[in-house]
Amino acid sequence: MKARYLVLLALSLVFACDSWGQTNELEFTRAEDVIYGRKFGTALTMDVFTPSKPNGYGVVWVVSGGWFSAREAIQKRDRFITPLLERGYTVFAVVHGSQPKFTIPEITEDMHRSVRFIRHNAKTYGIKPDKIGVAGGSAGGHLSLTLGTQGAIRLGEAKDAVDRDSSAVQAVACFFPPTDFLNYGKPGEDGTGVGILKNFKPAFGPRADDPEDRKALGKEISPIYFVTSDLPPTLIVHGDADKLVPIQQAETFVQRAKEVGATAKLIIREGKGHGWPDIQPDMKAFADWFDKHLRGE
């Protein structure tokens, strides 16, 4: 019960918008419950927001807090993604399978599938298949970086034509993401479902019970270990007072990216914790980032 409360709290912190000011009316259409995949008899869905004047580029919005995802969380999100819609981006709000039923590796597969589905249907949505961005916060930021570091064409001949497409993204912008579970806040600190993240243990699954297997899992799901010079341009916005996801996670990721010659930027919000009420203006920084690195303006 406590873990579920913390998961719901994470969602509310990342996407709280009741306290935001009123926004100007923005014309867009919303296609709800678009099925991008199925597993164990359950439909995986996304909502597609198409602005009245689309620019031909798409951004995946990862609906996730504490690796818990719910369609209900999208209800408040139209204002949150307003800066992207205002710039003409078609936004795909993706709901993934949630913990505790599904673990992070399984959730990651959902996200790969969602990008493949969007790319496969790019013509239908009026976007460029080779220019897709991704954004999210907290666990959604972690999954965004996972796509940024590990998106690729699936090996082998998949039966489903969708799975033959690439899950690679071309630009990333995210809030306060976990990036290294083996060095969580400081060198050698284990956060793989233990320590600071002990209340999120279900997301890590039974492998977190064994110290050796936990170490292997921590490396497998940490984006920092997959950073190469091919990393798409990546922006991270992080508060330096974040106690759930230490800012060290963003700092070391950006440092690693620069070491290999990739484009990465960290914007530090002084005194901010894990989410803040006036977070929406920071989405304009996301829109600027996608304008420069996705659209090339």
Give pLDDT, residue 155: 60
Confidence of residue 12 (pLDDT cuts 50, 70, 90): very low
Give pLDDT, residue 84: 96
Assigned fold of 2-18+25-293: Rossmann fold (3.40.50)
Going by the DSSP 8-state scheme, the letter that residue 130 receives in this structure is T
pLDDT at residue 5 is higher than 60: no
Higher pLDDT, 10 or 189: 189
Strands 42-51 and 28-39: antiparallel
Give pLDDT, residue 213: 95
Which token pair is 22?
Answer: 């009123």
pLDDT tens across 209-237, in order? 999 999 999 999 999 999 999 999 999 99
pLDDT at residue 160 is higher than 90: no
Residue pair 215/192 in contact by the 8 Å Cβ criterion: yes
Angle at 237 between CA 231 and CA 238, to 5 degrees: 115
Give pLDDT, residue 157: 74
Report the alpha-carbon distance of residue 289 to residue 297 in Å, rounded.
Answer: 10
Report the alpha-carbon distance of residue 129 to residue 115 in Å, rounded.
Answer: 10
Give pLDDT, residue 13: 43
pLDDT tens across 19-73, in order? 333 345 678 999 999 999 999 989 999 999 999 999 999 999 999 999 999 988 8
Q: What separation, in Å, do the N-terminal and C-terminal C-alpha atoms of the chain show?
A: 47
Give pLDDT, residue 9: 44
Residue pair 61/92 in contact by the 8 Å Cβ criterion: yes
Give pLDDT, residue 74: 87
Mean pLDDT of 186-214: 96
Residue pair 107/67 in contact by the 8 Å Cβ criterion: yes
pLDDT tens across 27-38, in order? 899 999 999 999
Report the alpha-carbon distance of residue 182 to residue 189 in Å, rounded.
Answer: 6
Strands 42-51 and 132-137: unpaired
Give pLDDT, residue 152: 85
pLDDT tens across 87-135, in order? 999 999 999 999 999 999 999 999 999 999 999 999 999 999 999 999 9
Angle at 61 between CA 55 and CA 67, to 5 degrees: 170
Give pLDDT, residue 151: 93
Angle of helix 104-120 relative to helix 139-150, nearest 10 degrees, comes to 60
Mean pLDDT of 280-287: 92
pLDDT tens across 230-279, in order? 999 999 999 999 999 999 999 999 999 999 999 999 999 999 999 998 88
Report the alpha-carbon distance of residue 43 to residue 29 in Å, rounded.
Answer: 22
Confidence of residue 3 (pLDDT cuts 50, 70, 90): very low
Strands 28-39 and 171-175: unpaired
Give pLDDT, residue 187: 97
Domain segments of the chain as ranges: 2-18+25-293
Mean pLDDT of 162-188: 96
